[in-house]
């Protein structure tokens, strides 16, 4: 059952310790990002207020002693969207304290094949992020706490095979 995304926004205000995200797509079709993606691809400078709302959310969580981090599964060469997301999004979001890791499957099998895109809050509240074949967000699916263990395992597997984004980015820089 897909619940409203407004409930997802509430999770970012109410989690107590950590929020983890596994990202699996090469392209996220986000209409509100289209102009920024075009600007990035045209070599224009990043707007000063880019991702300001999210950076505030992350910064407030960090100041409250909470951790926000994610792993993105990628394969090189990166899509234009991934170069934009990593080059503008990740770099900017790190200024608020969000941590990023890359699981690069270019030369190795994906250890999480078949695992969906998800958020995991406080190791007890998994939220599957549903997308269609074009990368358009369809909505979150809030799963019961009884399902949390499988997402904790996926998170741990992702982290075991990933490397910190700054180190990976320094090697491959889009």
Convert the pLDDT of each residue in 13-35 to its tens digit.
999 999 999 999 999 999 889 99
Q: Tokens in use for 41? A: 């691809």
Question: Does residue 7 lie within any of the structural domains?
Answer: no
Query: Is the distance from CB of 111 to CB of 10 less than 8 angstroms?
Result: no
Question: Does residue 131 lie within any of the structural domains?
Answer: no
Task: State the total domains in the chain.
Answer: 1
What residues contact residue 146 under an 8 Å CB cut-off, 6+ apart?
none
pLDDT of residue 32: 86
Question: Does residue 3 lie within any of the structural domains?
Answer: no
pLDDT of residue 1: 40
Q: Which domain holds residue 61?
A: 15-114+152-172
pLDDT of residue 2: 43
Q: What is the pLDDT of residues 105-114, one digit of tens each?
A: 999 999 999 9
Question: Does residue 119 lie within any of the structural domains?
Answer: no
pTM: 0.94
Going by C-alpha positions, the residue among 10, 144, 172 that lies closest to residue 77 is 172
Question: Does residue 79 lie within any of the structural domains?
Answer: yes
Question: Does residue 126 lie within any of the structural domains?
Answer: no
């Amino acid at each position: 059952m897909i619940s409203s995304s407004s409930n997802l926004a509430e999770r970012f205000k109410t989690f107590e310790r950590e929020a983890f995200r596994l990202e699996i797509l090469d392209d996220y079709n986000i209409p509100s990002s289209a102009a920024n993606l075009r600007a990035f691809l045209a070599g224009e400078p990043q707007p000063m207020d880019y991702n300001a709302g999210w950076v505030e959310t992350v910064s407030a969580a960090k100041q409250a002693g909470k951790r926000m981090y994610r792993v993105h599964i990628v394969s090189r060469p990166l899509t234009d969207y991934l170069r934009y997301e990593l080059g503008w999004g990740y770099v900017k979001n790190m200024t608020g304290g969000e941590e990023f890791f890359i699981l690069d499957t270019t030369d190795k099998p994906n250890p999480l094949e078949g695992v969906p895109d998800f958020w995991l809050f406080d190791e007890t509240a998994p939220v599957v992020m549903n997308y269609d074949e074009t990368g358009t967000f369809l909505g979150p699916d809030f799963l019961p706490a009884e399902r949390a263990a499988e997402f904790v395992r996926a998170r741990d597997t992702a982290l075991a095979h990933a490397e910190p984004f700054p180190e990976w980015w320094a090697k491959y820089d889009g």
